[in-house]
A and B are shown apart, each in its own frame.
Chain A
Amino acid sequence: MYLFANATIYVGLALAIYSLLIITLGISTKNQKLINSGKGGVIAILVCASMAMLSLFYLLATSQFQYEYVSDYTSSELPVIYKLTALWAGNSGSLLLWTFFLVLYTVMIAFSRKMRGNPMVPYISAILLGNIVFFFLILGFVAKPFILLDQVPIEGHGLNPMLQNPGMIIHPVTLYLGYVGLAIPFAFAMAALILKNVDDFWIKMTRRWTIIAWLFLSLGNIFGGQWAYVELGWGGYWAWDPVENASFMPWLTATAFLHSVMIQERKNMLKVWNISLIITSYALTLFGTFLVRSGVLTSVHAFANSNLGLYFLIFMGVMVIGALYVLMSRYNLLKRSAGEFNSYISKESSFLINNLLLVGAAFGVFWGTVFPLVSEAVRGTKVTVGMPFFNTVQAPILLSMMFVMAVCPLLAWQRSSLKNLKKNFLIPAILAVAAMALMVILGIQKAWAVIGFGVIVLLLITHFLEFYRGVKARRKMTKEKVYLSLYRLMTKNRRRYGGYIVHIGIAFIAMGIIGSQNYDVQTMKTVNLGESIEVKDYRINYERLDQKKEGINDIVYAEMTVFKNGKRIGNIQPEKVFYGNWDQPSSEVGLITSLKEDLYVVLSDWEDDGKATFIVKVNPMIAWLWIGSFMIVIGSLFAVWNGKYQNITPRYTGVRKEVS
């Protein structure tokens, strides 16, 4: 097994080097046979990567503790599902997963039906193979997943209990799919530049891949937030930890790209900018990995400190310098088609502001993340840049972003006249201001909350109007029923309406953030058995404290009955889990969720006589975070779905070569 498992890595590396060289040779000698051989090599690499994954899964599932990785991250009593998911609990396993996804994507591109006969394929494959070679080198020589120990331990160290949660099964997978996915637009962009293709074929193909990568990145962050909320007992979902920031930055720049690419499609402008955004997004995924694996910054997510981060930094440097060189060498070609604007106020201008704010937000996050290093270099003081900084800097930028999002759909392409503006904005603006006034009357008096909710109301109205006007215009011509008309309107313009659904999802998430950040209530109370805690409209009766055993873990739990306005609404059971193979206990929170607010109870401490201390929080509007997240998924899938009307592969009009 040892030989087989290691062979999958080294054979994979040899095949990756072979495929890269043979494809490059095929491109330079215009020999299709060599290209085909390289493509065959990619399939063989996929077989190797799959075998490596299966080998590690097998070793983990059967608790083969003679392997360092298995012994480090699992123990025999661990449920099988967590034994398997331990594959991405450590450095080498997670990099193997990353490599597997990268190879999988490469095969999908190299053998894509839509890309058949396309001269860009060899170039894209070669660029992705360059990445694959790097990852196999790391797996083969730096972070080896299949190392045998000198002595076979009787028991493994076990998996960090924090990672034993359904959220943790899926969070890293989706995040890696997003990270790896951003390598695809990068490869497309580089291939297009090398081929001197300035048509919009590649941009249309890339857009789909970017939306998919963006969706996975969003899901990764959402699952991470959801996990933090239920598992850490802290009541929050986003801590602006360096590693969270590392996944948020490419999300912001990819979002900027998805918007600015529309200007390129419509007006053949911003080509240099769009390619810069793709390069930046790709580089930021590598930068994130550098942060997680190097230990230069303190993070709750950090893997064991190693020099692995350094390799990522070097690789990132090489790729970015290479990409900038290619970009500069084609600069004149790209600049030639620089277009023109009809007016200051138009959809195009609003997209520019959107890009300014999104990239500005990404810069703010980047700056805050690296500032401890900057400060240490300049003054020798490594300051901490935590939540208060990011909340203060990001809140106005992201709120402005929401405003642009609210306004943009009603602005016309080309130019918006004053009459047009008045017609489109008067009613939404009046309603939004009225809603803000109502909020103040109802007692919401914090300025940020009122402005934030006002902008969200504006956004919801403008988006509703978009749907309403579209349906109205359709019905005028087709006389269809409302629902049929809405269905056809949306399915015939999937990207536009999918995008609007995503916007509404973002608005719901913003509602959840503003509500929970500004109006959360929490208290810490010590009570005797039979006593109750009162918070807001809730009364929580503390009825029982007991202990149970689950496997090697001891669990102390409290039974509580919850009443709201005197009416019983349910039972909760907050727990403290003490692990047999882990020093730190963890909290399982007692949670009652509703659309209005979450009741969140943590068992903090107790005494022998049953007296216990609880942290009780009322977190308003948290449910909207998850509803909004769900809408983001629906909207993104709706936008990329191969519908009846949009299943048209863009026609390739770029440079023709003999090989494809």
Chain B
Amino acid sequence: MKNKIYIGLLLIAFIFQASIFQVQAKEFDYKSKEFEAAASQFMCTCGCGQDHFECDPKTCNLTIGFKEDIVEMMNKGWDKDKIREYYVNIYGEEILTAPEKSGFSLVAWVLPFAVLFIAGIAIFFIVRKWVKKKGPEELTSDSESVKDEVEEEILSSMIEEQRKKYL
């Protein structure tokens, strides 16, 4: 009898647990931040031009399975980096929405800033050359006259206006 009760309880527990699991799986929020962090790393290959977070499962069958796989991995406790590693190993870097920050792809990330940095230094030296060209004597005389530039401009525009009116 006892055994029957245990088996009965076990069965109830099993059914109950299964239903909870089903509800969890069904009610997973595909628009949650956690899911976005993981799924937005991967490009959908259906031709929609979107990542797997944005791709609409209503119009794309490919993303349905992909999304479910990601949820499964998240349920296993995998973080977004581990999920990323898993897919890159299978499909290569092509599946990512942005190049890796290693190897040749690092050039993609670094070059814009490197160019900015070098151009910035070049501009500094050019400005220095132009400032030196002006000479120190004029600089000291300039610094003595600190005029309010706005007032000066308005005054000159008013003079100009009067000039146009009467001349």
Interface residues of A (CB under 8 A from B): 233-234, 239, 241, 298-300, 339-344, 349, 352-353, 356-357, 359-360, 363-364, 367-368, 371, 375, 378-379, 381-389, 392-393, 397, 412-415, 417, 419-420, 466, 469-470, 473-474, 476-477, 489, 492-493, 522-526, 576, 584-585, 587, 604-605, 615, 617, 645
A299 in contact with B161 (CB, 8 Å): no
Interface size class of B (residues with CB under 8 A): 35 or more
Q: Which residues from chain B contact A233 at a C-beta distance below 8 Å? A: 56
Q: Which residues from chain A contact B48 at a C-beta distance below 8 Å? A: 300
B112 in contact with A341 (CB, 8 Å): no
B157 in contact with A492 (CB, 8 Å): yes
A389 in contact with B130 (CB, 8 Å): no
Can you list 21 A-B pairs with a CB-CB distance of less than 8 A?
A: A234-B50, A241-B49, A299-B49, A340-B131, A341-B127, A341-B134, A343-B142, A353-B123, A359-B119, A363-B116, A371-B108, A375-B104, A383-B93, A383-B99, A385-B108, A392-B98, A417-B146, A473-B154, A489-B154, A493-B157, A523-B32
Minimum C-beta distance from A1 to chain B (A): 37
Q: Which residues from chain B contact A349 at a C-beta distance below 8 Å? A: 127
Minimum C-beta distance from B97 to chain A (A): 4
B31 interface neighbour in A477, A524, A576, Cβ under 8 Å: A524
A356 in contact with B116 (CB, 8 Å): yes
Annotate B42-58 by CB proximity to A: 1 below 8 A, 0 otherwise.
Answer: 01000111110010111
B49 in contact with A360 (CB, 8 Å): no
Q: Which residues from chain A contact B26 at a C-beta distance below 8 Å? A: 526
B111 in contact with A367 (CB, 8 Å): yes
- C-alpha spacing A423/B158, complex, angstroms: 25
Q: Which residue of A lies closest to B122 (CB)?
A: A356
Minimum C-beta distance from A229 to chain B (A): 13
Minimum C-beta distance from B152 to chain A (A): 9
- C-alpha spacing A526/B58, complex, angstroms: 14
Interface residues of B (CB under 8 A from A): 26-27, 29-32, 40-41, 43, 47-51, 54, 56-59, 92-94, 96-99, 104-105, 108-109, 111-113, 115-116, 119-120, 123, 127-128, 130-131, 133-134, 138-139, 142-143, 146, 148-151, 153-155, 157-158, 161
Q: Which residues from chain B contact A414 at a C-beta distance below 8 Å? A: 142
Given contacts A343-B139, A371-B99, A473-B151, contact A360 B127 (CB under 8 A): no
Given contacts A340-B131, A492-B157, contact A384 B94 (CB under 8 A): yes
B98 interface neighbour in A339, A384, A645, Cβ under 8 Å: A384
Given contacts A342-B139, A524-B30, contact A389 B109 (CB under 8 A): yes
Minimum C-beta distance from B122 to chain A (A): 9
Q: Chain B interface secondary structure, helix, strand, loop or mixed? A: helix
Closest 5 CB pairs of A and B: A364-B112, A341-B130, A386-B97, A388-B98, A389-B98
- C-alpha spacing A633/B32, complex, angstroms: 37
Minimum C-beta distance from B100 to chain A (A): 8
Knowing that A300-B49, A368-B108, A615-B31 touch, tell me 9 more A-B residue pairs with CB under 8 angstroms: A339-B130, A341-B134, A342-B138, A342-B142, A384-B94, A384-B98, A388-B97, A388-B98, A523-B32
B131 in contact with A492 (CB, 8 Å): no
- C-alpha spacing A234/B36, complex, angstroms: 13
- C-alpha spacing A385/B43, complex, angstroms: 10
Which one of B57, B96, B99, B151 has the greatest number of beta carbons of chain A within 10 Å?
B99
Q: Which residues from chain B contact A384 at a C-beta distance below 8 Å? A: 43, 94, 96-99
Q: Which residues from chain A contact B138 at a C-beta distance below 8 Å? A: 342
Q: Which residues from chain B contact A419 at a C-beta distance below 8 Å? A: 146
A466 in contact with B150 (CB, 8 Å): yes
Minimum C-beta distance from A536 to chain B (A): 13
Q: Which residues from chain A contact B29 at a C-beta distance below 8 Å? A: 523-525
A381 in contact with B93 (CB, 8 Å): yes
- C-alpha spacing A445/B97, complex, angstroms: 27
Q: Which residues from chain B contact A476 at a C-beta distance below 8 Å? A: 151
B116 in contact with A397 (CB, 8 Å): yes
- C-alpha spacing A306/B115, complex, angstroms: 34
Q: Which residues from chain A contact B51 at a C-beta distance below 8 Å? A: 386-387
Given contacts A381-B93, A383-B96, contact A584 B108 (CB under 8 A): no
Q: Which residues from chain B contact A341 at a C-beta distance below 8 Å? A: 127, 130-131, 133-134
A469 in contact with B115 (CB, 8 Å): no
Minimum C-beta distance from B83 to chain A (A): 15
A473 in contact with B109 (CB, 8 Å): no
Minimum C-beta distance from A556 to chain B (A): 11
Q: Which residues from chain A contact B32 at a C-beta distance below 8 Å? A: 523
Q: Which residues from chain A contact B151 at a C-beta distance below 8 Å? A: 473, 476
Q: Which residue of B lies closest to A379 (CB)?
A: B104
A383 in contact with B105 (CB, 8 Å): yes
A523 in contact with B31 (CB, 8 Å): yes
Given contacts A343-B139, A523-B29, contact A385 B98 (CB under 8 A): yes
Q: Which residues from chain B contact A382 at a C-beta distance below 8 Å? A: 94
Q: Which residues from chain B contact A615 at a C-beta distance below 8 Å? A: 31
Minimum C-beta distance from B44 to chain A (A): 11
- C-alpha spacing A412/B31, complex, angstroms: 50
- C-alpha spacing A584/B55, complex, angstroms: 13
Minimum C-beta distance from A165 to chain B (A): 18
A343 in contact with B123 (CB, 8 Å): no
Given contacts A388-B97, A585-B59, contact A415 B143 (CB under 8 A): yes
B97 in contact with A387 (CB, 8 Å): yes
Q: Which residues from chain A contact B149 at a C-beta distance below 8 Å? A: 412-413
- C-alpha spacing A395/B118, complex, angstroms: 19
- C-alpha spacing A92/B99, complex, angstroms: 35
- C-alpha spacing A339/B111, complex, angstroms: 31
A420 interface neighbour in B58, B134, B139, B146, Cβ under 8 Å: B146
Q: Which residues from chain B contact A368 at a C-beta distance below 8 Å? A: 108, 112
Q: Which residues from chain A contact B112 at a C-beta distance below 8 Å? A: 360, 363-364, 367-368, 393, 397
Q: Which residue of B lies closest to A360 (CB)?
A: B116
Q: Which residue of B lies closest to A302 (CB)?
A: B49
